[in-house]
Amino acid sequence: MPLEPALYQGHSVAAILPALDEADAIGAVLRAIDRTIVDEVVVGDNGSTDGTREVAAACGARVVRQTRRGYGSACLEAIAAVPDVDILVFLDADGSDDPAEIPLLLDALTGNVRDGISVDQCVEARLIGAAGRAADTRRSSTDTMDRRNLGTHSVDLVIGSRVRGSAEPGALTPLQRFGNALTCTLVRVLWGVRYTDLGPFRAIWKDRYDALEMSDPDFGWTIEMQVKAAQRGLRAVEVPVTYRVRQAGESKVSGTIRGSYLAGTRILGYVARAKLGDLRGQS
């Protein structure tokens, strides 16, 4: 007899996990996802050679093998496998994000906010001064029109903030904290939206995701989503989440100086390209 589909307050949910060589960690993560509220679990495999795909499949996940390497590519191709879901939830496959906190993000997204902290409520997220006025102008023109063409949601995007929440000792390196704070400051200055984190743990309505037209194939993926949400006037909230030391293996970003440098330059590079695109659009 087929299982009844899982629904969260009447909405179908897909969990998206990009993964590269996470065989030692991903099994525990997948088993911890509450399948009574998550319909689909999709692992975007980034070219693993350690058995990640086999472990994920054995845990009941749908595994999508990428045709192009990169964090963003893993997300893009995994999402393409679930075109009809209502909500997308993103989390890392290394155990640093706690699957038990998925309901916190879903509560905030569906309007059942208990501890949600708003980062874009049309007033408090806008800045006083030139950057704030520019952000207001953008939101009152084509971006606002784009938003009206979509369905009605009280919240469009939820970011799990490690800064507002708690991080285990060693989970966030000093370099990660610095890069995160720097990028969030640039977004605040350039687009007038006050984020505190660029963490991977997040949830978004699928129709909002489609409207963002995401494309970054690499580590610019998370900042692309947040910048485009700001450009289009979407409402984002942050909820405090726990951030844990990875359960096994080595981080592809913070595990090496080279990895941290490459991720940082790609994130900042996206910010620069996005702002340049804004300026060209205004000329």
CA 30/CA 250 separation, integer angstroms: 19
Establish if 65 belongs to a structural domain: yes
Establish if 2 belongs to a structural domain: no
Which pLDDT tens digit goes with each residue over 167-209? 999 898 888 898 899 999 999 999 999 999 999 999 999 999 9
Q: What is the predicted pLDDT for the residue at 156? A: 96
Strands 62-65 and 157-167, how do they pair? unpaired
Q: What is the predicted pLDDT for the residue at 274? A: 82
Establish if 25 belongs to a structural domain: yes
Amino acid at 224: E
Is residue 99 classed as helix, strand or coil in its secondary structure?
helix
pTM of the model: 0.83
Give alpha helix (H) positions in the chain.
23-32, 52-58, 71-80, 102-109, 130-139, 142-148, 174-191, 206-212, 221-231, 257-282
Mean pLDDT within 130-158: 55
CA 110/CA 17 separation, integer angstroms: 21
Q: What is the predicted pLDDT for the residue at 256? A: 54
Q: Is the pLDDT of residue 1 over 50?
A: no
CA-based nearest residue to 228, from 273, 168, 170: 273
- CB atoms under 10 Å from CB of 174, counted, come to 7
Strands 87-90 and 202-205, how do they pair? antiparallel
Q: What is the predicted pLDDT for the residue at 151? A: 62
CA 68 to chain centre: 19
Q: Is the pLDDT of residue 134 over 50?
A: no
Q: pLDDT category, 119, cuts 50, 70, 90?
A: very low
Of 31-40, 64-73, 102-111, minimum mean pLDDT range: 64-73
Range of the domain at 71: 13-282
Q: What is the CATH number of the domain that holds 189?
A: 3.90.550.10
CA 99/CA 34 separation, integer angstroms: 8
Establish if 8 belongs to a structural domain: no
Of 92-96, 124-128, 214-218, 223-227, minimum mean pLDDT range: 124-128
Of 210-214, 254-258, 270-274, minimum mean pLDDT range: 254-258
Establish if 7 belongs to a structural domain: no
Which pLDDT tens digit goes with each residue over 37-89? 999 999 999 999 999 999 999 999 999 998 788 999 999 999 999 999 999 99
Is residue 46 classed as helix, strand or coil in its secondary structure?
coil
Q: How many DSSP H helices and E strands does the chain contain?
A: 10, 8
CA 17 to chain centre: 11
Q: Is the pLDDT of residue 123 over 70?
A: no
Q: How many domains does the chain have?
A: 1
Establish if 199 belongs to a structural domain: yes
Which pLDDT tens digit goes with each residue over 145-175? 344 455 678 899 999 999 999 999 989 888 8
Average predicted confidence (pLDDT) for the chain: 83
Establish if 20 belongs to a structural domain: yes
Establish if 4 belongs to a structural domain: no
CA 246/CA 89 separation, integer angstroms: 19
CA-based nearest residue to 155, from 187, 119, 125, 102: 119
Element (H, E) at 203: strand 202-205
